[in-house]
Amino acid sequence: MTIRYRRNINCLTDNQLHDLREAYQAIYDLPDSSADSFATLGGIHGSPSPIWCDHGSPGFLTWHRAYIRAFEKALQSVHCDVMLPFWDWSSGPTTGVPEACRHPTYVNRSGNTVPNPLYSGPISSAAGGGTTARRSDIDTTTFGDIATSAQSAMSSSTFSNFQNALNGPHGSVHVRTGGQMSSVSHAGFDPIFFLHHCNVDRLWWNWQQSNPGAAVPTNELTHELDPFNKPFTTDWQTGADVISTDDLGYRYMNWCIFLPPIIVWEVLPIELDPIVLERFRDARLHIRSSRMPAESVEFQVFIGDKDAVANTKIEGNPAFAGTVGLFGMGNMDEKTMMTMTGNNFDIALNVNDHLRQRCKHLIEEQGDTTPKDTKRKKTAKKHTDDENPNATAPLFMRVAAVDAQGKPIEPDRLPIDDIELMVD
């Protein structure tokens, strides 16, 4: 199964945010009778009866994981590339809701000012009708104390203790957001509900990564998550069906890493926030294309050597991060290549150990880079040492491409859609 990533809503590109808003609006516009309509999905949480949601034990985390996955699938029926983003109220002090959710209108792709579907949502006629609203001072409402409680929950040693500890700050976000979000019966009609619970699910996912051997109680595994069916059956899903997000096809991207496009042979400076340098778990370089290259190519990745060329030494070179190769399709005509199945590729090079070693050197060279507020928002920003005393010197990455003779291949000869560094 292909694994896709849910991101912080503040990390979405303009196009990703347009896709998300358009998908929300599309399910708003569906008739209430549609299974994928916002009226139906929002009502599952509460009104109209029956109230399906679980807010205790068993079922709080598992039921809501199944719920937001069902909602995400409805969004994907409009835009297949949409992944539900999360509202990160838990990593440090924040004020108000995310910027994308604050304003009643936005400028769409066509340049027109239209209603912002992330600002408020329609309430189904069966639940009373109208639209949702939040507390009047939401833009100045702070969530820092709730973040502290959520971070404290992360230290729990058992699933049950974690679930119980996280339930409190989860509820506090509902109450503090106000409006329909503060009521079980109507919370699901506020579009930010799903971003909020996506963050709750992310915290559980992170706890799972930190506690891989933690047992889930039997009553959680067997608990039925109605009204969500197992695929191609009339049986309800159970907690056991949603324990692994990999089985559901997604993971989380905790960090906002803003980098310019990675282009073969161009030098890319990578500036990461110190907290990312110290805490990241995994780093991969993805090379993607919708078709195979005509000629065989080897991609060589260097981190820390901005002068790397085709014949730069590889063995024993501390800047060499690894290599991946692709068989070329030879003289096959393009029409035939485009009709072949399995022709697209997404190859990944794990640069975790190499990047960690380079980061270790940077941290040691600059002393203690731990920010005073270690729970601040985990984002990577462009800065100078004058702007940020904790700034680290940039790492330099260069992706080289050579043919079967070891000679350089220029970017215009490569059918590359994009190259992305993913750090988590």
Q: What is the pLDDT of residue 370?
A: 40
Instruction: Please check whether residue 87 is in contact with residue 192, taking contact to mean a CB–CB distance below 8 angstroms.
Output: yes
pLDDT at position 289: 81
Dihedral in degrees, nearest 10, Cα atoms 169, 175, 177, 183: 120
Element (H, E) at 160: helix 159-177
**Predicted pLDDT at 189:** 98
Cα(375)–Cα(88) distance, rounded to whole angstroms? 12
How many CB atoms are closer than 10 A to CB 4? 14
Q: Which of 306, 307, 300 is nearest to 325 (CA)?
A: 300
Rounded Cα distance, 308 and 1, in Å: 36
Parts of the chain with a pLDDT under 70: 258, 273-275, 277-279, 331-344, 359-394
Query: Tell me, what's the pLDDT at 387?
Result: 41
Report residue 279: phi and psi, to 5°: -115, -5
Q: What is the pLDDT of residue 372?
A: 36
267-423: same fold as 4-253? no
Q: What is the pTM of this model?
A: 0.78
What pLDDT is stored for residue 385 in this prediction? 37
Strand partners, 288: 346, 418
The end-to-end CA distance of the chain, in Å, is 20
The CATH classification of domain 267-423, taken from the options 1.10.860, 3.30.70, 2.60.40, 2.60.310: 2.60.310
The domain segmentation of the chain, as residue ranges, is: 4-253, 267-423
Q: What token pair was written down for 137?
A: 């001072």
Strands 395-402 and 267-270: antiparallel
Strands 4-7 and 250-253: what pairing?
A: parallel
Alpha-carbon torsion (22, 25, 31, 32), positive or negative: positive
Dump pLDDT digits (tens) for 129-183.
Answer: 999 999 999 999 999 999 999 999 999 999 999 999 999 999 999 999 999 999 9
Q: Write down the pLDDT at residue 60.
A: 97
Kindly state the greatest CA–CA separation across the chain: 71
Rounded-to-integer distance, Cα 66 and Cα 217, Å: 18
pLDDT at position 187: 97
CATH numeric code, 4-253? 1.10.1280.10
